[in-house]
Each structure stands twice: as structure tokens, then as C-alpha cells.
Structure 1
């Protein structure tokens, strides 16, 4: 990308204006949602980004398009390399993801329930994070907001939100293209074109393709796995009939036929077969029987892979009436997913799985807010509606598992509808003090229908539907003080709410369909923002305490004569606490440093459940299933206690016509449990990764060339993990990748 990048974005995420020297002012970061602004990357190359946000009382991490590009953030998972206290993990190596922000999150294999951390793209909430797959291109920026949200926009949740902003159409012609080639024949191509079509009418068309990159090999036959095969398009049409009105119509389409990283077993729970031994951590075993592939209509020899389509459209209407601004956002998103995983990680068919997902979601949001950001009184009121429909079918191949020796399928439907009303108001008092409060009320209805488990050649079980409804309030109250022009402190209390839902995969008895209850959290947060040496040193930090009631946790249920299965349940009482901070330093000419730090602890205060480790140990000794019940009161919540990421960048002008940027970056994640109370192989080991980049560009900013490396030390590490019938497995992380990227634009 060029050094000077015009990047119009929705001002829903536009930082508030900086506070004046004598009077602070605070207003909602979404109070002027929908208007356009322009990011000039060149203006930030010798200063800290988003200076206006230093006057907003929040713990949001705001990321420029340049920072995302430098750190090679091309998927949602990459955001954990540039934000504190954030862990994003793929599910069994697939495109589906689970979020943990400040340790708040849960593992939902089916992705059929509302997540504690929501994904937004251009102000549109995605109820299922998989729907956002393939959309991380032509970016204008991103933000990560921890803690309960929802009183100013969108939906309420308990963990926070990740908001991606993509570039809008421009009033002048622009074109850009990027080609990225890296190890293992990985290739990523991007391009965009943007400009006017008529007076007041402009468009933008952008796309990307991704191929190769497979780094796993099968020592049994020399086959390799993991090649990407994805393409995506996004189009936007913007019409400004007058100076007060903006109408923005957008649409996108993604086709993903990528192979996925497969699991590596680390412990056998059932059976006597030896686990595979590999000469390299980049090796793995996988297989698929032709009979199983025929069952779900795919070719014999299918590898662990995706066969997905995602598409959607959204309409933004913004009109400034003078004293108030009206915003309406309508969106429709669809997901068509076909996904094969070899979960046991062996050449046997003990837990091979294929699932299909057909889902769609319609959302409608309307907001009114005052138009003048300089007013002492700032307010926003609005309403939000969401309707989603989903049908899933799971196919399982247990042919080589001696206790079953069959293939089976489970299918079900999910219906959901929610409506909420929200309001937020803030008032600036004398002496640079601002008070604010917000309130949200939400009704949510969910039901599961038509669930049937069929053993091919055996019995078929049909289960009656279940439903659950929630009627809850969420809210926020806080105070901030702009102590000096360059230092802000704040304190707030927030209540977050997330509706209940269902666990539906591999259902064997009706009781598994009992809905889990809504989750609520009361969060206390105190923070500060300071530029003690303007343009030289910036230090931001926040401390928090979360008081959970009925926290939704992936627990365990034991099915007699079948074995332990994962089930989302509620921990009646739990808590977590910690802090996060960001230090940005420009100690002397040419050197720029960034360090994010996140630390959190938490435990269950009351959590009666089946102890999976003890239950598995009993089976190993007695060869029969017996539930060993336990209460995990006082047990750690298992989330990584310490997460770090940062970078050092040396920016060197060359003969006034060119510039050279280079430096390392790093990431650390502490140990993480993959089952409540887990120790030993039930925990993912900690890891540290080192990367680097060097970029050469002319002063004109028309083009740039970059060499980069990730995981330079070629460290072996586990990105996520889980259980699949007979084994516990880890999903290995990427090995060393070395690549080059060339961009051109005007």
C-alpha cells in the first residue's frame, strides 16, 4: 500500500475530537455514526495514532490500517498479535473461531450460540463469527473493545467486541494492488478501484485471492495439507444527494475451499493403539474412508478442508437534521458451510467429522443522536432487531472405534429472534469532569427444532424441540476527569447480558437439549490515558474486576455406555480480574516502540460438573464409564494469565527520496486449559513467537516493498486443542514463514 492512503471509514468508529486545554469534552464514539473521514497514513508516521481517542474514557485498542499491514494481520486471528488480553483460536484448525477477551469467552464447536465477544464489520454485528471469514482485506482500521457493551449501538454482550472497518468509496479516482508471496508457495493478491460515477455518486470494488501455504505432511504417503483456496469480493456504492445525507449500499461474497490444519493427538483416552510418532512437528496423520465421503456427497480421498460460501448485503442511511442525526443500518448475512475434520488425528476413523451449516441473519438498527460534538450534553437513543435461522447436520465416522463401529448423523434447526432498546447520555461538568450513563433492554427468544440422531444401519432417535427466552437489562454508569490536557482518568461500572442457548452436536439423550441459562456480568473498571511526553511517550492502562452469574462454560456430561461429551453449561458463580496496558515510545529520532501487556486471573466460586480428567482416569483403570462429579469451586478459569505483544520499528530516511523501515515484533501467550481444572496434557503450553519486517518505500508513497518473517525461531507451539472421542489433541501453530510483499497505488 502507498505511504499516503486515503481511507474513508464509517465514523461510527471515528475517535472523538481532542479535548481543549481548559475544558474536556466527552461524547459517544458513535454519536456521528455514518459520516466519512479520511485517514492519512503519512501524517502518523512520526506521531502516535488516534490522538483524539486519548480523551475518551475507554480501554479500546484502536488499530490503523498501516499497523494491521505491518503485522501481517489478514485474518481475525491475527488481531491477537496487536491487542492486549485477546486470544482468538480456530476450532479444530478450521475457519470457525472462538474469542477470549480479558479471559471472557467460551468454546462453541457448533458456532450456533451467541458469543461473549461479537464481531462487527462496518457497524454490522455478525451473530456467528464464521460469517466474517475472508473479509479482512482493503481495511481502513480495526478496534478491540473489552467489557460489556451495547448501550450506544448494536447488541449487548458480556465480553466486548471486535470491530473491523473497510474502506469506503472516494470522490476521486484511486487504484491499488498488492502481491504477497511467502513460504510453502503461499500467495495472497489484493486489488481495489474507487472513484466517482456521477455527481454525488461514487463506488469502490475490492477483492482478494489466497492460495497455497500448506505446511503439514503425512509421513505415511508423503501427502501435504493446509493449502488455502479462497477468493472474496466486496463492492460499495455511496450516494450523497445533498450535504446532509449519505446512503451507502454494500455487498460481499466469499468462496473458501481451503484445506485446514489437522490435529496432532497428545494422549489416548480410549483403546490400546499407539499414538503416531512423528519425526517433525510439521507432520500429522489424516484419512477419510470412501464410504464416509459418499455419505455426505464428497469425493473419495477428501482432506480436512472447508467448502464454504458467505455472502451478504448492508444498507446505511444517515441524515443530519441539524440538531439531531438519524442513522439506519439494515443487513442480511448468509453462511453455507461444508467442513471436514479428522479430529482424532490418526489414520483410523475414530472421530472423523463432516458438518454442513446453512444459516442466515437479518439485522436492523436505528439510532438518533445530537449532531454537535461540542455540546455539553451528548446523547444517543436507538433500537436493534435481529432474526437468525440455522440448520446444521453433523456426520460422524466411528468405524474403527471398537465401542461403536458405525457411522451416524445428527441434524437440527435453530431459530432466534431478538429486539432491544438502548440509550446513552453524557454531560460535561465544569473542571473537566464528565458523567455518563447508558441502559439497554433486550428480549431474546431461541428454539431448537427437528433434532434427530441416526445410526446408519442402526437406530434413529428423534428428540422434541426446546426453547428458551430471555428478558434482561444491561447498563453502564461512569465518570471521567481530564486532569491535564494530556492525562485522563476514569471509572465505570457496567452490567452485561448474553442470552442462553443449546448444545446440539452428537446428542444422545433428551436431557442434552436442556437450554443453558443467560449469562450476566457486573464489571468494575478503572483506567487512565496519558501522554506524559507528547509525541514521545504514551501510556494507557485499565484494571477490571468481573463478577459473573451463570457464566456459560463448556463443561462435560457423561452418557452411560457412551462416554463423556462436551456440553455448554452454567457456572453459577465465578469471577475474574486483571489489567491491560499499552506503552508507545518514541525515545529518539527514528525509533518507535509499542508494547501491549495483558494479565488476568479468575476462578470458579461455584461450578458443579463432571470432572472429565477423573472420569477418564476411572475408565482407564476399570474399563467402564462412571461419572466422577465434582465442584470446581476455587479452581482457576484456565485462561492465559499473561499475554504480551509488541514491536520495535526503526524508520530511516534515505537521501530524502526514500525511506526504510525495519524491526522485530513479538508475541507471548501463557498456558491455557482446554478443559475446566485441566493440568498436564489438558493444558496448552505457553509459547513465544518472534517476527520481523523491513520495508522500502519512496517519499511519494506510490509503492512499497516489504520482506517479513513470522515465527523466525521456528518454535513448535499449540494454537488450540480439544478432545475427539478417543484422543486429546492439539492444533499446531504455523512454522516459520518468510515472505515478500509489493504494493502499488495512486
Structure 2
């Protein structure tokens, strides 16, 4: 089946030869890849020798995980949360089973309650930063490649951050006509249909339109009444237009739209603080859960009494790009506007009782503008300079139903407005000292200003609370300095030190005290990294590795404080100091004909070196034992950060040509994920258990005729595992991962 990668790979054969022969200048700084560079993900046959994907990236001094479109297809990556199964030390988790996503990379990340803060790990789609991660909902289709970059970023593009970035690159328009239609059906009546068409509209003008719709697949059910939960109902559309008026100019216009009415995956209670424990169902099956919305609550939020935990979301956006060759440099401009309209109902106690039902309305808009110059003249010196601006507006309104919660017994409504704008500048240079030694460095600066306005909480039948405005201003400077040595054609090493930062913000959740809204401070991180990239046996074995140490200041974490006669209230606090260290290894092997092996290993450890905070598990335990909330504080100095220590992933595939123009591809993949703490210092039920998963697939197709057919199995061993956690009022839940799915996919392209 033709893809955008295959369509553009052949013209780069000469460039690959030049780099492999050492005749081209090393690429020494991680840069956002254009669609042309993205095409290099395709493995090539050069002079009869097989080379691994992303050959040029082997000369870049980074530890990025680069994932091709073929790997995304083989590993059944249909959501951003699936990416954590392909990269070391990466965690991508749904917030309480919803479409809001939290990213952690090498232990750096933020668990954002209601997505009103900047993530420590920034998400990009086609070079556009998405500060509100839910805006990428439904965008994992027609993707050319994914680039996962750990460590402080923002020296060559976009927004500064502390943790890194996840960059998605969608396929671009093509100069020739191409198209595809794919139908995927699987267990639990799940159906996924996708396709694209791409080609010329006129001379120097081309387009691409891609779409996907997903239906069904709900695998949870309520043992009390037999109702099922989790059906997907999502449709997405993306369109691109590309015009090249001359050989120096490229003008592009893009847009996308997603409508999501999917049901959520519900959590299962593992800790319950309610006095009436016997009211809570004791689930006997992995797929069992419970939920329920009271008629009065449904009427208040304007939804039907039959409402299940679900989304009612619309996302859309547009972007305008210009690239112009100036002779000495290339001028690039990206203007983008993104908007979200969310209506989300979640049952956050995992029961039919009204102790943690939440309904949320979100209206959010983001405008961004980036302008940069990239040097293009040959020589020893290369540079990039640019500026980035973004402005966001958000209004949130969320309802909590505590009617069955003894001690509260009411419905509350909280609402607020948040205004934000940021302006950042960056410069990056690299210089070839010798034929094998290159030094590189960069600086960035960001000013971020945000205000929380008009915050009000109504406790229906009790009182109304109005809160004073809060503000947070960040002015920070980041830096990068490193050295790279291309020791041989197939071996390079590097060392770099970088300093990154992330703005402060607010904990705008269920609020009953002004102290909850107090702005938390910016965080900063100094990262030390040493690594190597090698092909000990060119075309047969590739081995890359990195080791890192993070010096973390004012780390932003979810904690709580105790309000007398009410209970723990969620808030964010700054950890004065913590440290993270680890290693990462990746390997690819093609030992014999038809066999392809790859694997990743990440190991990381982190600890608080200075931190004193409320011990929420101890407070909860005392509540269960005595019925009284009492504050217990703990010095967490030396305590583990609770991040997954070990992550493993890998696959082995058999690929061969068959008679009559057919080809086959058979594969098995695995991934392991270590345990993860739900709370600061969490142990026992306050941790997500480790898990091991397997998957398999078998594909047969005819490339010349443009078709292929696949059967696949995910979670082959039907393991019971938890992918994230949540808590609300009286309960802590583990949100389960999907059981075994057996599916088939038929695809035709031209």
C-alpha cells in the first residue's frame, strides 16, 4: 500500500549516500522535521544494502525516540496514550479515564486536574504547540512519524519546557494522485474506518484530505443492571493545501475538526473512606464497574437522565504557513488557532452513588504565532533564531454531586475564567571545530502572564463562595551547551547540559478555600546527558544509549491540604528540590534475512531531597479508623518519587516476499511497565501495579495492486492491569486497561 513515506523516499537516496560516506555536514542539533525530512523514516535499499530507518538521526546528539508510520501501524497506535508502549521512560495517561491527557518523560510531568496549566512535556502536531493536551483528541490518524524528545526544549522552536516534547507529524500533500481506504473491525463491536486522498489541483498546487471514524468497542458493564460502557463515537477530519509559487517559496494552509461523543472508561474503587462501605458494590470481574446520574443533577447540567460517563466535545483548528528561501537563510512563519468545546461527565467514585459525579464545561481558545530564521549557507557555522507568541482564553464550569457523601450532602458548582499570554525568544548555534568535533549551544527566554478571574463556588442549598482573583507571572531564561564527536562513520558520542523551565499556574478544581487558588511557582530543571549512537554491524545491528541526571528545583506536584471538618483538598505545591537519574538503551537488529528485531529499555530513579507535606494516606487511614480528619505531615526527604522504574518494549517480525506478487509480515510485540505511585509516598493500594502485555499480527498483501489484509490481537494474554488512577471525595480508583481485542483490517490504496 503506498504511503506518504514511500512516495518521497527515493529522491533522498543520494542524500543518504552522502551522509553515510561522511560527505555531508553532521546534523548536530535536534530540529523540527519538515515533511521532506519526515520521509526519511522509510527504510531504504541503497546499493543492495539494507539500512535502518532514520539514518540521518544517527548523527544528531540526542536520545529521541523516532517512530515511523509503519511501526505505528504494526503496534496498533491509535491514540496518544498508546505511545508509552513504544518509548523508554515515557508515561502518557488519561486523566481519570477522560480525553484529557497527562504526559511524563523521564519522571518529569504534571498531573493536571482540569487542564488549565501548561504541561511539563509539550505536545506538537505539525510543529504547532498544544498547551491544552485534549486538543489533540482524535488526531492520531494519517500520521507520518512521531518524535519523542526528552529533556529541556525550546531552543530551536516552539515553547520552552522542562520535560521534553511529543511531536506528531501528519502526512503532507503529494504531487501525484494517491488515496487509501481502510476498514478495521474488532472485538466488542468496534469499528474504525479511515482514509485519505491526495494529489494535484493545479500546477504547483496540491492537497490532502484525511478522515477517520471510530465506533463501538465498549467492554465494561454494570453487574447491577447489565448496561455496558465505553463505546467510542468519534469522527475526525484533516485537510491540507500546499502551494509552491516558485522554487524558493512554500505556502500551506491546514485545518482539522473532531467530534467526540465517546463513553469513558470507568475506574474501580480500591480504597473507600465512606462510612457506609456496605453500599458500595464489590466487583467480581475485571470488566465490571458501576455508575449512575441522579435526575436532579442531570437536569442541572442540562443532560438526559440516561447519561453515561462520556464526552460531548468539538475540537477544531486552522494554521497558515510560509517558508521562503532568502539565500543566506530560510524564513519560516506558522500562524495557528485552536479551539475546544468540551462537555464531559465522569463518575469518579466508580459506583452508582452520588459521592463523586463530575460534569465539566470547557471553552478554550489558543492563538499562536512563530517566526524564525534558519541558516542555509554551507560552512562550519549553522544557526537558528526565532520568536514564539501564544495567547489563550479559557472558561470552565464544573459541577460536583456530593449528595450521598455523608458530611457534605449537596451539589456544588465552580466556575472561572483564565487569561494567559506568553512571549518567548530563542537562538541556537553549532560550530564544527574539526571534521569530527562539533560544539553547540542555545538560549531561550519566556515571559508568561496568566490570571484566574471570577472564581465562584455555589453549594446549592448551603452557600455561595466568591474568590479573589489570582495571578502568576513567569520570566525565565534557559540554556543549552554541548559537544559532539562523530568518531567514525557509524559511531558518534555527545555530552550536553541544558536548563529548562515551566511557568507557574493554579489548581482550579473543586474549590472551597482561597488557599487552594494560590498560584504555584515556576519549576526549573538542569539536565546532564551523555549518549552514543552506533551501528556496530551496519545494516545488521544498531545500538544507541544515553544516561542522564536531572537537578530539579520547585517541581510542581499534586498534593493536598486539610480543611477542618471537610477533608483533604487537592492543590499544587512546589517541591524545593528533587533529583532524577536513569539510563536508556535502544537496539535494532536484522541478523538474518526476513527477521527484524527492535527493543527499548528505560530505567529511572527519582527521590525528593527536600520536601515536607501533608501525608494524605495517613489522613485517610485515620479517617477510616476514627471517623475524624486529622492532619499528619511527613518529611519526604529521601522518599522515592513513585515514577515507574523500569519500562521495556520490543518486537520481532518476519517479512518475506511470496509468489504472485504477494508479501507477508508476521510480528509479536511486548511491553512491560513498572509500578507507579498514585499519591506522594504512595504504597500498597496507592500504587498502580506493574504489568506485562503482548500483541501479535499477521499481514498479507500485494504492493503492486495496493491492498493488504491483517489480523491482530492486542493484550494477547488477556492480562488484567490498570493504566491510570483517580480519586474523588471518598474513593480512590484504578482505571483498568483494555482486555484482549481480536481484530481484522483490510486496506486498499492507489
TM-score calculated relative to the size of structure 1: 0.97
Instruction: Tell me if structure 1 keeps the 8 A contact 2:38–2:145.
Output: no
Instruction: Tell me if structure 2 keeps the 8 A contact 1:7–1:168.
Output: no
Partner of 1:263: 267
Q: Deviations over 1:461-491 (max 9, x none)?
A: 0001010101110110000000110001000
Q: Distance in 2 between matches of 1:212 and 1:66?
A: 25
Partner of 1:133: 137
**Paired residue secondary structure (2:713):** strand
Given candidates 541, 566, 570, the residue that maps to 1:537 is 541
Q: Within the alignment, does 1:582 sit opposite 2:586 as a pair?
A: yes
Q: Deviations over 1:48-96 (max 9, x none)?
A: 1011110110011111111111111111011112111111111111111
Partner of 2:331: 326
Partner of 1:547: 551
Q: Distance in 2 between matches of 1:479 and 1:612?
A: 45
Given candidates 313, 319, 322, the residue that maps to 1:317 is 322
Given candidates 513, 516, 524, the residue that maps to 2:517 is 513
Given candidates 642, 652, 655, the residue that maps to 1:651 is 655
Instruction: Tell me if structure 2 keeps the 8 A contact 1:7–1:167.
Output: no
User: Post-superposition shift, 1:699?
Assistant: 4.1
User: Post-superposition shift, 1:143?
Assistant: 0.6
Q: Distance in 1 between matches of 2:188 and 2:233?
A: 14
Instruction: Tell me if structure 1 keeps the 8 A contact 2:501–2:524.
Output: yes
Q: Distance in 1 between matches of 2:234 and 2:650?
A: 29
Instruction: Give the count of matched residue pairs.
Output: 741
Q: Within the alignment, does 1:277 sit opposite 2:278 as a pair?
A: no
Given candidates 354, 367, 374, the residue that maps to 1:369 is 374
Q: Distance in 2 between matches of 1:31 and 1:714?
A: 39
Q: Distance in 1 between matches of 2:242 and 2:282?
A: 57
Instruction: Tell me if structure 2 keeps the 8 A contact 1:47–1:535.
Output: yes
Partner of 1:49: 53
Instruction: Tell me if structure 2 keeps the 8 A contact 1:93–1:731.
Output: yes
Question: Unpaired segments of 5 or more residues in structure 2?
Answer: none
Given candidates 227, 231, 236, the residue that maps to 1:232 is 236
Q: Distance in 1 between matches of 2:131 and 2:698?
A: 38
User: Post-superposition shift, 1:297?
Assistant: 0.6
Q: Within the alignment, does 1:245 sit opposite 2:246 as a pair?
A: no
**Paired residue secondary structure (2:330):** strand
**Paired residue secondary structure (2:44):** helix
Instruction: Tell me if structure 2 keeps the 8 A contact 1:23–1:430.
Output: no
Instruction: Tell me if structure 2 keeps the 8 A contact 1:24–1:482.
Output: no
User: Post-superposition shift, 1:6?
Assistant: 4.2
Partner of 1:25: 26
Q: Distance in 2 between matches of 1:399 and 1:145?
A: 45
User: Post-superposition shift, 1:580?
Assistant: 1.0
Q: Deviations over 1:127-178 (max 9, x none)?
A: 1110000011111111100000101000000000000001111111111111
Instruction: Tell me if structure 1 keeps the 8 A contact 2:29–2:61.
Output: no
Partner of 2:359: 354
Q: Distance in 2 between matches of 1:588 and 1:467?
A: 61
Instruction: Tell me if structure 2 keeps the 8 A contact 1:4–1:41.
Output: no
Question: Unpaired segments of 5 or more residues in structure 1?
Answer: none
Query: Which stretch of structure 1 is more off in the superposition, 31-40 or 426-435?
Result: 31-40
Q: Deviations over 1:274-305 (max 9, x none)?
A: 34222310011111111111111111110000
1:206-225 map, 5 Å = 206-225=210-229
Q: Deviations over 1:482-522 (max 9, x none)?
A: 01100010000000110000001111111111100000000
Instruction: Tell me if structure 1 keeps the 8 A contact 2:504–2:523.
Output: yes
User: Post-superposition shift, 1:47?
Assistant: 3.5
1:95-106 map, 5 Å = 95-106=99-110
Instruction: Tell me if structure 2 keeps the 8 A contact 1:3–1:703.
Output: no
The change in CA–CA distance for 1:41 and 1:477 in structure 2 (over 3 A counts) is closer
Q: Deviations over 1:226-272 (max 9, x none)?
A: 00000011111111110100011000000000001011001112323
Given candidates 671, 674, 681, the residue that maps to 1:677 is 681
Q: Deviations over 1:105-141 (max 9, x none)?
A: 1211211100100100000000111000001111111
Instruction: Tell me if structure 2 keeps the 8 A contact 1:2–1:701.
Output: no
Q: Distance in 1 between matches of 2:447 and 2:482?
A: 25
Given candidates 303, 309, 315, the residue that maps to 1:304 is 309
What is the RMSD computed on CA atoms of the aligned residues? 1.8
Q: Distance in 2 between matches of 1:70 and 1:89?
A: 21
The change in CA–CA distance for 1:7 and 1:395 in structure 2 (over 3 A counts) is farther
**Paired residue secondary structure (1:615):** helix
Partner of 1:640: 644
Instruction: Tell me if structure 1 keeps the 8 A contact 2:4–2:172.
Output: no
Query: Which stretch of structure 1 is more off in the superposition, 498-507 or 698-707?
Result: 698-707
Instruction: Tell me if structure 2 keeps the 8 A contact 1:19–1:25.
Output: no
Partner of 1:388: 392
**Paired residue secondary structure (1:527):** strand
**Paired residue secondary structure (1:18):** helix
Partner of 2:717: 713
User: Post-superposition shift, 1:638?
Assistant: 0.3
**Paired residue secondary structure (1:504):** coil
Q: Within the alignment, does 1:82 sit opposite 2:83 as a pair?
A: no
1:120-519 map, 5 Å = 120-274=124-278, 275-372=280-377, 374-519=378-523
User: Post-superposition shift, 1:185?
Assistant: 0.5
User: Post-superposition shift, 1:555?
Assistant: 1.0
Instruction: Tell me if structure 2 keeps the 8 A contact 1:341–1:354.
Output: yes
Q: Distance in 1 between matches of 2:222 and 2:693?
A: 25
Query: Which stretch of structure 1 is more off in the superposition, 535-544 or 39-48?
Result: 39-48
**Paired residue secondary structure (1:731):** strand
User: Post-superposition shift, 1:360?
Assistant: 0.5
Instruction: Tell me if structure 1 keeps the 8 A contact 2:267–2:726.
Output: no
Q: Deviations over 1:595-645 (max 9, x none)?
A: 111110000111111000111122222222121112211110000000011
User: Post-superposition shift, 1:180?
Assistant: 0.5
Instruction: Tell me if structure 2 keeps the 8 A contact 1:381–1:424.
Output: yes
The change in CA–CA distance for 1:354 and 1:735 in structure 2 (over 3 A counts) is same
Instruction: Tell me if structure 2 keeps the 8 A contact 1:26–1:426.
Output: no
Q: Distance in 2 between matches of 1:34 and 1:704?
A: 25
**Paired residue secondary structure (1:84):** coil
Q: Distance in 1 between matches of 2:594 and 2:36?
A: 35
The change in CA–CA distance for 1:736 and 1:596 in structure 2 (over 3 A counts) is same
User: Post-superposition shift, 1:655?
Assistant: 2.1
Instruction: Tell me if structure 1 keeps the 8 A contact 2:402–2:411.
Output: yes
User: Post-superposition shift, 1:21?
Assistant: 3.2
Q: Distance in 2 between matches of 1:411 and 1:638?
A: 32
User: Post-superposition shift, 1:38?
Assistant: 4.0
**Paired residue secondary structure (2:109):** coil
Partner of 2:603: 599
The change in CA–CA distance for 1:36 and 1:729 in structure 2 (over 3 A counts) is closer
**Paired residue secondary structure (2:327):** coil
Q: Within the alignment, does 1:733 sit opposite 2:734 as a pair?
A: no
Partner of 2:691: 687
User: Post-superposition shift, 1:647?
Assistant: 0.5
User: Post-superposition shift, 1:4?
Assistant: 8.0
Instruction: Tell me if structure 2 keeps the 8 A contact 1:26–1:428.
Output: no
Query: Which stretch of structure 1 is more off in the superposition, 76-85 or 672-681?
Result: 76-85
